[in-house]
Amino acid sequence: MSEVFAFHLDRILGLNRSLPSVSRRSEFFQDGQACPVILWDSSLSPTDDNTHSSVRLTWGQYQQLLKQKCWQNGKVPRAEWGCTEIHHHEWSKMALFDFLLQIYNRLDRNCCGFKPLKEDSCMQQGLKLKCSDQDAVDLTHIVQRRHDRRHLAFIDNKGFFDRNEDNLDFKILQGINEFPESAVSVLRSQRLREKLLQSLFLDKIYWESQGGRKGIEKLIDVIERRSKILLTYINAHGAKVLPMNE
């Protein structure tokens, strides 16, 4: 169900990269319990079976292309820079989004940046043991659209609200020196809670499935605390906040 929350957060922050997701009840799914329904987009580029990505990148390659700021300000990258077709700003948007929700499967599939729980996929697959050569680890769920190769589409947005503040995955932010102004302005405005409440209230089934306003407020509490940590991180690292509406 975190996919539904992720969709609303994505829209409020002005990122607009997640596929539409709503809650529905059906006798055909989980005995009538609420479940997420995600509108699939036929324009998504084909992905491979291993990384579920339309472009294959290792962590090491990803860190190198971040330094090149591919396609920023309309600058065509050189062949030796190792750039993909994806615009530099897309990585900043994804890192901010993934940090707030602690989505680790895209940038840290081996859980090398935090202490995972036994139910985390990296523990179940034995990936936590493979952190000695992180540069060789593939990124996953990096997906573009066929007609728009410059931008990403965020899929499989399984967030984690039970990650303590002293165990957040900061590896997600590694190499990111710029953040989207639209999103940061919302985090700084102290209106994040208000906007999320207004948006999530429109999905009545999700609202009820989380225990009404009391349950929703607890989820927002987590995101607000993480947003404060992120803003502190931005200030401490001297990261730039830029318009990213290319």
For residue 246, the model assigns a pLDDT of 57
Distance CA 110, CA 126 (A): 8
- What gap in Å lies between CA 160 and CA 126, rounded to an integer? 20
Of 196, 245, 207, 212, the residue nearest 7 (C-alpha): 196
Report the interhelical angle of 88-101 vs 59-68 (nearest 10°). 130
Radius of gyration over alpha carbons of the chain, in Å?
A: 18
φ, ψ dihedrals at 57, nearest 5°: -140, 140
Among 98-102, 127-131, 151-155, where is mean pLDDT lowest? 127-131
Amino acid at 98: D
Q: How far apart are CA 62 and CA 47, in angstroms?
A: 18
Measure the CA–CA gap between 151 and 95, rounded to whole angstroms.
14
Percent above pLDDT 90 for the chain: 86
| pLDDT per residue as tens digits for the range 187-202 | 999 999 999 999 999 9
d(CA 229, CA 202): 28
State pTM to two decimals. Answer: 0.95
pLDDT in tens, 226-244: 999 999 999 999 999 999 9
Report residue 26's pLDDT band, with 50, 70 and 90 as the boundaries.
confident
pLDDT higher than threshold 90 for residue 245: no
* Cβ neighbourhood burial of 123 (10 Å; 0-12, 13-18, 19+): middle
Question: Per DSSP, what are the bridge partners of residue 34?
Answer: 25
Q: Using CA atoms, how far apart are residues 216 and 9, in angstroms rounded to an integer?
A: 13
Sorted by where each begins, the domain ranges of the chain are 1-238
H-type helices in the chain, by residue range?
Answer: 2-12, 59-68, 88-101, 121-124, 181-188, 192-200, 204-209, 212-236
pLDDT of residue 171: 98
